[in-house]
Amino acid sequence: MDVSKTKTSFYRRLYVAWLIDSGSACSVPALMAATGMPRRTAQDTLAALADLDIDCVFIQQEGERNNAGHYLIRDWGAINPQWIAANLAPIKAILGYP
């Protein structure tokens, strides 16, 4: 199946936001483990969530240093997270994620 870069980029952002919101992967190392994506791709994808009006913030752990904490989706904007949950299998298949 030939899928455009635009579609894979969009699905990657949706999937990363879903992983964060579901509590499955709320940090860069956890996202890397869940998807197999490189650190830079995970970081870039997190930064790009704002392009979809997904409000994702980093919650620093109290008393910790060096970015210890987790990501949190505060608002999905126009995105329907239930659609993502219902379409996880095809999204993961298109992205080649486990």
Q: What is the pTM of this model?
A: 0.92
pLDDT level of residue 64 (50, 70, 90 thresholds)? low
Q: Which residue has the tokens 């990363």?
A: 16
pLDDT level of residue 65 (50, 70, 90 thresholds)? low
Q: What are phi and psi of 74, to 5 degrees?
A: -90, -30
Range of the domain at 23: 5-95
How much is the CA Rg of the chain, to the nearest whole Å?
13
Degrees (nearest 5) of the Cα angle 93, 58, 9?
A: 30
Specify the pLDDT at position 29.
Answer: 95
CATH of the domain at 12: 1.10.10.10
Average pLDDT over every residue of 59-70: 77
**How many domains, in total, are found in the chain?**
1
